[in-house]
Structure 1
Amino acid sequence: MKKILFSFLIVTYTSVFIAKAQSDFSSPYSLFGLGVENSNYFGGFSALGNTGIASKNLFSINKSNPASITSIASNSFLYELGLSSTFSNKETVNSSQKNVDLNVSHLAFSFQVKDYWKMNFGLVPYSKVSYEIDLIKPVEGSSQYLSTSITGSGGINEVFWGNGIKLGKNLSVGFELSALFGNIDETELVYIGYSTATITNSKNYFGFGLNTGLQYTINNIFGTQTTFGATFSIPTYLSGTEDQTATKSFSGSSEVEILNETDIDLDDYDLPLKVGFGISSIINKKLTVNVDYKKNYWSDTYTSNNTYKYQDQEIYGAGVEYQPTQNLNTFWNNLKYRAGVNYNTGYLILSKQKIDNYAVSLGVGIPLSKSIYTSMININYSYGKEGTINNKLIQDNYHKLSLNLSLLGNWFQKRKIF
């Protein structure tokens, strides 16, 4: 009970702290679609080049593939909390801007239902919107200027429920149901002379998604143990409504409402068909190698905005994890050292330029006890580059540091009386 209470206090205190933390996250690319998608990788998977489709882990929830849930330790309750901080430097040909972002990246739980059936559920941010745009234009035929300030905020959240079922010694399958919901707000302030117009738009989205996966393990192919994994996510349709208001005011006078419309139906926002394949091989019980490939078919997604277009997105990832030994009496040899690389072609094309992303990552997994079945603290660091300065676009150079707590509790073991 002390461990349960302690873990609950950690989660509660950290969540409150993050809620109060100051964040000046800003991304010009969050202007498009539903915003910037979050890469939600639990445990140490973000240090492994964002891989994990074929990975099996006793001590961490793997959201990359719902079939992987079957690999968590039996008769245990696994709960995870992730925190992340991103330091970014956004630059154009002529200027630059620094930002810091601090967030709770995920909260998830997993447990055993039957020997062959395990389950998880949790909450993650799916996307985030935050941008500021200032425009100044001369008014034709006048000495005045039209000044416009546009700000956007909000994003989409995801609640997921996953199930993993072991069909045999080597084969596992799984499915994950998710509910996506959230709102995206945009406020536009227009100044001309002594008058000000304020236009606000609030878009609310809701929908359901389904992700399926499988894993199959074969011994003594590329290493001691090799697992092949695959995932398939069906297209998801988010229904939406929009509220619009507009007011106008002059210097020294009160605001006058000129528009107020609510519950305007929006066209469904389509999230694409997604497929993924992965290989994870354990070599000499010390070295684990992961390789993943994913493709998201964004080009089939409808968009009513002609300022940008979607392309099919491909993601390549590779990572290695090394544990010197499993000598329970030696702390340093029980650490898990990780490194990875990732390339994401992106799904946006702006000014005939694709908004791609390169990243390299490092990490370490620290056990909290000398037991084989133990909780872990995973510290992950990545450096990456998104976008380009070509054609008057913006390049984002970022450093991301994440702390993931994978807490393992033996909740379902029978008490023994001696």
Structure 2
Amino acid sequence: MRFMTMNKLAILILLFLGISNLKAQTNALSNSPYSLFGVGIPNTFSTGKTNALGGAGIALKSDNSLNSLNPASLGAMPVKHFYFDIGYKAQLFSLSEGAGSSNQSNSTFSNVALAFPVTQQSAVSLVLAPYSNVGYDITGIEQSIEGSTSFYTSDVTGNGSLNELDLNYGYSFFNKLRLGITGTYLFGKTEQTEYNTILDYFLDIQRENRYTGFRVGAGFQYDITDKISIGSNVKIPTSLEATQNSIVSQDYDDDITEETSVKNFELPLEMGFGTEFKFGESYAVYADYTRKLWSKTEQESSFNDYKDQDSFKTGLTFIPKPGGIYYWQNVEFRVGANYDTGYLNIAGNDVSSYSVNVGLGLPVSRSGSKLNLMYSYGKNGETSNGLIQENIHSLSINFSLDGIWFMKPKYN
């Protein structure tokens, strides 16, 4: 039996690593001009059902599916189970600037994760997901030629992603208090290519920035009653080491290649607090608040300022009749919303965002596996003050597998 158990564990880890390798090599474009700043647009997608709850779930236990928002949730994972979660997202961006507008789209894997118990009170999980995405295309930038009244034009494109691999551990005390810790390895690259036309002369500059770093976090959850729970999480500040490879291509000369060290990118202290309220057997309400202290990183940029970021998230779930004999009685209906003050201030204007979400949790097996579907509509930025407004339609699909193992076969 132990040999079969280890085989199952080895197969799951190999599957995870195989998908992780594929995922790490994928550039998840954001199609957002705001991804020009820093290391790109932060990822807002997560595992399981939290996408449809407006991103809320700090107090949500991992008692029937994996919740990657708080490592403490793993303390509620049932023994003899394992979780596997893989997600896919697609987005349509409608960009508006003054009287002009354009439409762009992208799609990519959003996460891959697995979790399994260690003891009756604890469990571990591995989660791979983008931390941020880069994707922009800016054309027709006019710049003056130094010492002349003439101008030259530039086109700039960028793509890439920064990924995070989380190792989480959660432990339960007295069946009410759960504590957890997280170790995160961040890695990835962003690429920017600048095409310059100076009179009849062409000059192309390609820059590739690579980032690596480690981060530590922690969390707790506490059940005040059977119907009310609270939770909190924290991620400490860290510095991402950056190196840059650049290639300068010219019409009448050889390419110039150079590797240089660039200024590290600072990630801020993050703190979150969440609540869960259950009403009867059918309803549950979640509410989260998160603050990220970007201003404390004191990063300098000639284009923008970093400011402290506040996020407010809430969600509602409804199951018509849990354990009912009919399929639709066990379908979970979800709605959610969030508002984010943003972390960028451009020319004195904050770039805030909001979104509304709806979703379904469709059972696919008696063990608890579900197909999680989510649609959201959101807005980022505004057209006033020279900014760009993004209207974003998003669709996510997460297959959340809940399997049972460590059990002796009934018949040999």
TM over 0.5: yes
Residue in structure 2 matched with residue 182 of structure 1 by the alignment: 188
Question: CA offset at residue 225 of structure 1?
Answer: 1.3
Alignment partner of 2:177 out of 171, 175, 198: 171
SS across alignment from 1:187: strand
**Residues in 2 aligned to 1:267 and 1:13: alpha-carbon distance in whole angstroms:** 33
Distance 2:302 2:85 in 1: 41
CA distance in 1, matches of 2:23, 2:68: 23
Contact 2:220 2:231 in 1 (8 A): yes
Q: How much does 1:366 deviate?
A: 0.6
* Stretch of structure 1 that moved more, 109-118 or 198-207: 198-207
The CA deviation string for residues 279-299 of structure 1, in whole angstroms up to 9 with x for no partner, is 001111110010100000001
The 2-side partners of 1:19 and 1:147 are apart by: 34
1:379 aligns with 2:381: no
Partner Cα distance (2:144, 2:265) in 1: 36
Runs of 4+ in 1 over 4 A off after TM superposition: 6-25, 137-145
Residue 248 of structure 1 is matched in structure 2 by 250
Counterpart in the other structure of 1:368: 364
Match of 1:63 in 2: 68
| 3-state SS of 1:267 partner | coil
| Equivalenced residues, count | 404
Unaligned stretches of 5+ residues in structure 1: none
Query: Which of 285, 299, 315 pairs up with 2:295?
Result: 299
How far apart, CA to CA, are the structure 2 residues paired with 1:64 and 1:198?
A: 42
| Distance (whole Å) between structure 2 residues aligned to residue 89 and residue 20 of structure 1 | 27
Give the match for residue 100 of structure 1. Answer: 105
Structure 1 residue 229 and structure 2 residue 231: aligned? yes
Question: Hey, what does 1:45 align to over in structure 2?
Answer: 50
* Structure 1 residue 301: Cα displacement: 1.4
Q: Distance in 2 between matches of 1:87 and 1:203?
A: 27
Alignment partners' CA distance in 1, 2:87 and 2:299:
33
Q: What is the CA distance between 1:73 and its match in structure 2?
A: 2.9
For 1:209 and 1:143, the matched residues in 2 are separated by: 49
1:200 equivalent among 198, 206, 211: 206
Correspondence for 1:318 among 305, 314, 318: 314
Q: How far does residue 36 in structure 1 lie from its aligned partner after superposition? A: 0.5
2:400 matches 1:416: no
Could you tell me which amino acid in structure 2 is paired with residue 65 of structure 1?
N
- Determine if contact 1:58/1:73 at 8 Å carries over to the other structure: yes
Q: Tell me if structure 1 keeps the 8 A contact 2:186–2:212.
A: yes
How far apart are 1:400 and its partner, in Å? 0.5
- Taking every aligned residue pair, what percent have the same amino acid on both sides? 32
How has the CA–CA distance of structure 1 residues 230 and 142 changed in structure 2, closer, same or farther, with 3 Å as cutoff? closer
Partner SS, residue 251 of structure 2: strand
How far apart in 1 are the matches of 2:114 and 2:313? 26
Distance 1:9 1:368 in 2: 24
1:351 aligns with 2:347: yes
TM-score, normalised relative to structure 2 = 0.91
- What TM-score comes out, normalization by structure 1 length? 0.90
Q: Please provide the CA RMSD for this pair.
A: 2.8
Question: 1:282: which partner in 2?
Answer: 278
2:325 counterpart residue number: 329
Q: For residue 246 of structure 2, what is the amino acid of its counterpart?
A: Q
Amino acid of the residue matched to residue 101 of structure 1? N
Distance in 1, Cα, partners of 2:100 & 2:62: 45
Q: Which runs of 5+ in 2 are unaligned?
A: none
Deviation at residue 142 of structure 1 after TM alignment: 7.4
C-alpha displacement at 1:137, in angstroms? 4.7
Distance 1:409 1:198 in 2: 53
Residues in 2 aligned to 1:8 and 1:312: alpha-carbon distance in whole angstroms: 38
